[in-house]
Amino acid sequence: MLLAPGAGGDLDGDGLTALASTLAARGCTVVRANLPYRQAGRRAPHADRSVPGYLAVLAAAQDALGQRDAPWIVGGKSYGGRVATLAVAQGLSAAGVLLYGYPLHPPGSPDKLRVDHWPHLFAPALFLQGDRDPFCDLQLLDEHRHKLPRRATVHVVEGGDHSLRVTRAASPTGAASSEAATLNGLGDVLKDWLRRLD
């Protein structure tokens, strides 16, 4: 599995590290990687322009692990996940797409949906979304996920923000949860999704 961070994030961020650890505990070989713009110290370009870099990173990971012919799951946090979906829509073969905080639209602009490529996303997807995420109106996600040609699973974290962080005030139980703690607690969700991939 290849996971890339969000536009301003890093491969060693708490959330991405926790997600990778949770997946590794369930038998996945996980590669966390920055995209080339990040390694060069530049700002994130439009997501389309990061697709070649994502593909290059994936090829390097496949070669390093000797896993060119193995099924790969691709994805990442926010921007990283969006780039992965664009790569699959442009022809990358993937066993699945794991999206953590998918940026369905810019904050405050739910009319600017990022779903035009979804009809070409021929891989089962798992969305891990917070119900307080300003980048993803869950009602709009539910309305548009029929555009995905393969099964899409949505797991909602109650009180979760864009990073799945839950404050005490937003928590349904009154207990705060860091993004790492939230992701560490999603082991069964991830295991069930992985088991259902075909």
> DSSP string spanning 25-56?
TTT---EE---HHHHTT-----GGGGHHHHHH
Cβ contacts of 119 within 8 Å, gap of 6 or more: 147, 148, 149
Q: pLDDT per residue over 63-117, tens digit each? A: 999 988 888 999 999 999 999 999 999 999 999 999 999 999 999 999 999 999 9
Which pTM value belongs to this model?
0.96
Cβ contacts of 42 within 8 Å, gap of 6 or more: none
Cα(87)–Cα(63) distance, rounded to whole angstroms?
Answer: 18
Give me the half-sphere count of Cα atoms (radius 13 Å) on the Cβ side of residue 180: 6
Say what the pLDDT of residue 127 is.
Answer: 98
Cα(181)–Cα(118) distance, rounded to whole angstroms?
Answer: 30
Handedness of CA 61, 62, 64, 70 (dihedral sign): positive
Token pair 């979804």 in the structure block, residue: 118
**Which parts of the chain have pLDDT scores under 50?**
none
Say what the pLDDT of residue 186 is.
Answer: 97
Cα(49)–Cα(33) distance, rounded to whole angstroms?
Answer: 17
Report the candidate in 100, 132, 104 with the shortest Cα–Cα distance to residue 118: 104
Say what the pLDDT of residue 198 is.
Answer: 62
- Residue pair 72/1 in contact by the 8 Å Cβ criterion: yes
- Give 3-state DSSP helix, strand, coil % of the chain, rounded to 5: 35, 15, 45
Say what the pLDDT of residue 69 is.
Answer: 85
Q: What domains lie within the chain, and their CATH numbers?
A: 2-196 (3.40.50.1820)
